[in-house]
Amino acid sequence: MTEGSERSIQGTPFAGDGRPSRSFGKGRVCKETGCGTRLSIYNRGKFCYLHEPMAVPRTRGRKIA
């Protein structure tokens, strides 16, 4: 046997017992006129990805767009 082969790393198994994921209701539809895309219960927004208004992030305190 090689040196160190008998050592093992111990820990606790990840069981996902933490708090549940936030959900935002079933059966919601994109608010854009004419769009019938159903929104995921995990999507907190009111629009689908295609119609979500553009959000411009700030980088180091400066507006980039």
Which pLDDT score, from 0 to 100, does residue 48 have? 95
Range of the domain at 49: 23-53
Whether residue 32 has pLDDT greater than 70: yes
Q: Output the CA angle 45-57-23, nearest 5 degrees.
A: 25
pLDDT grade, residue 4 (50/70/90)? Answer: low
> Is residue 38, in this structure, part of any structural domain at all?
yes
> Is residue 49, in this structure, part of any structural domain at all?
yes
Sequence-distant (≥ 6) Cβ neighbours of residue 23 within 8 angstroms: 41, 42
From the CB of residue 54, how many other CB atoms can be counted at a distance below 10 Å?
Answer: 5
Which pLDDT score, from 0 to 100, does residue 64 have? 62
Which pLDDT score, from 0 to 100, does residue 63 have? 64
> Is residue 10, in this structure, part of any structural domain at all?
no
> Is residue 27, in this structure, part of any structural domain at all?
yes
> Is residue 1, in this structure, part of any structural domain at all?
no
Count of domains observed in the chain: 1
Q: Output the CA angle 15-7-4, nearest 5 degrees.
A: 145
